[in-house]
């Protein structure tokens, strides 16, 4: 008769950490010791855990140097054909580490479940674990989604009150669960951002036009990075040519507007 599992799903790993004994003996070493105990050969045990023979020996030598007694012993020839096995000390240490590891796992699971019960802390930590290569990364809240025949427009409110517009596919709306109130990460690469200093009398086709003050300007050999500080604490970085910097008269403290198309915005959601 089969029983349904009552095991709870593992919580989101917002807090993680490696267990070490004495600052030197870690899980990798004990994986190796366990393999030696099962297989009876350092060479084959090293392959089993993805180590080279040399790397396995160096790991064992380091462990032996901090242990009052040897952790493994090697026999050559004899009635049992030789091989390598754990000493009594090595086996005791392996059992001890396994117990510590289980307690460590339970502790981390408990901490992660506790954090998951606090929506504000959960949102903050989720933002910390997100990684992306795009220079511009803003967190915001979806305020509206307009779904068309092929694509959709997603409106995202930033903390300073500015609104971004992103054009994404219908599939992205469904797979990311994009809807009003959803927290999202908006990404735009700096080379896709244009800098405008005077919009008076002009109308631009680009949906996103964020106005602020230049807070940083760094010229390189050919291009320059221009950072525009927005109301509310967000900022926009643009990569433009040095010639554009000169022709626009850009300088720190001057007003400027960052302009980019809705199709340049990539949206991401927390796991």
For residue 196, give every residue at least 6 positions away whose Cβ sits within 8 Å of its Cβ, in sequence order, or none: 202, 204, 209, 256, 257, 259
Q: Judging by beta carbons within 10 Å of its beta carbon (0-12, 13-18, 19+), is residue 218 exposed, middle or buried?
A: exposed
For residue 187, give every residue at least 6 positions away whose Cβ sits within 8 Å of its Cβ, in sequence order, or none: 132, 134, 136, 137, 265, 266, 267, 268
pLDDT at 152 over 70: yes
Q: What is the mean pLDDT of residues 110-133?
A: 58
Beta bridge partners, 72, equal 86
Question: Which of the two residues, 218 and 4, has the higher pLDDT score?
Answer: 218
pLDDT at 6 over 80: no
Phi, psi of 70 (to 5 degrees): -60, 145
pTM for this one? 0.53
Phi, psi of 116 (to 5 degrees): -65, -20
CATH fold of 130-268, please? OB fold (Dihydrolipoamide Acetyltransferase, E2P) (2.40.50)
Three-class DSSP labels, the chain:
CCCCCCCCCCCCCCCCCCCEECCCEEHHHHHHHHHHHHHCCHHHHHHHCCCCHHHHHHHHHHHHHHCCCCCEEEECCCCCCCEEEECHHHHHHHHHHHHHHHHHHHHHHHHHHHHHCCHHHHHHHHHHHCCCCCCEEEEEEEEEEEECCCEEEEEEEECCCCEEEEEEEHHHHHHHCCCCCCEEEEEECHHHCEEECCCCCCCCCCCEEEEEEEEEEEECCCEEEEEEECCCCCEEEEEEEHHHHHHHCCCCCCEEEEEECHHHCEEECCC
Domain 20-119 and domain 130-268 have a common topology: no
Cα 271 to chain centroid distance, Å, stands at: 10
CATH fold of 20-119, please? Arc Repressor Mutant, subunit A (1.10.10)
Pairing of strands 223-229, 136-147: unpaired
Q: Judging by beta carbons within 10 Å of its beta carbon (0-12, 13-18, 19+), is residue 255 exposed, middle or buried?
A: exposed
Are 84 and 42 within 8 A, CB to CB?
Answer: yes
Question: Which of the two residues, 140 and 77, has the higher pLDDT score?
Answer: 140
Q: What is the mean pLDDT of residues 173-194?
A: 90
Task: List the domain boundaries for the chain.
Answer: 20-119, 130-268
pLDDT of residue 210: 93
Least confident of 7-11, 188-192, 200-204, 264-268: 7-11
Q: How far apart are CA 184 and CA 173, in angstroms?
A: 12
pLDDT category of residue 214 using cuts at 50, 70 and 90: very high
pLDDT at 265 over 70: yes
Other beta carbons within 10 Å of 186: 22
pLDDT tens digits, one per residue of 83-108: 788 888 888 888 988 888 888 888 87
Q: What is the mean pLDDT of residues 212-236?
A: 90
């Amino acid at each position: 008769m089969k029983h349904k599992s009552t095991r709870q799903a593992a919580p989101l790993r917002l807090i993680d950490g490696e267990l070490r004994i004495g600052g030197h003996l870690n899980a990798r070493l004990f994986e190796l010791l366990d393999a030696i105990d099962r297989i009876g050969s350092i060479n084959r045990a090293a392959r089993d855990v993805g180590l080279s023979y040399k790397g396995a020996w160096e790991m064992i030598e380091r462990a032996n140097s901090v242990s009052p007694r040897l952790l493994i012993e090697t026999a050559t020839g004899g009635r049992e054909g030789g091989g390598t096995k754990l000493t009594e000390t090595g086996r005791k240490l392996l059992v001890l580490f396994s117990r510590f590891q289980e307690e460590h796992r339970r502790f981390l699971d408990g901490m992660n479940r506790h954090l998951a019960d606090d929506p504000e802390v959960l949102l903050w930590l989720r933002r910390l674990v997100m990684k992306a290569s795009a220079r511009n990364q803003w967190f915001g809240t979806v305020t509206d989604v307009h779904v068309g025949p092929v694509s959709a427009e997603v409106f995202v409110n930033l903390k300073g009150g500015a609104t971004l517009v992103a054009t994404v596919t219908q599939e992205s709306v469904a797979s990311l669960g994009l809807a009003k109130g959803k927290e999202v990460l908006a990404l735009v690469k700096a080379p896709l951002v244009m800098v405008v200093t005077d919009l008076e009398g002009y109308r631009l086709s680009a949906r996103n036009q964020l106005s602020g003050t230049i807070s940083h300007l760094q010229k390189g050999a050919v291009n320059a990075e221009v950072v525009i500080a927005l109301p509310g604490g967000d900022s926009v970085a643009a990569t433009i040519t040095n010639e554009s910097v000169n022709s626009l008269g850009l300088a720190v403290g001057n007003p400027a507007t960052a302009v980019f198309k809705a199709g340049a915005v990539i949206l991401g959601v927390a796991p």
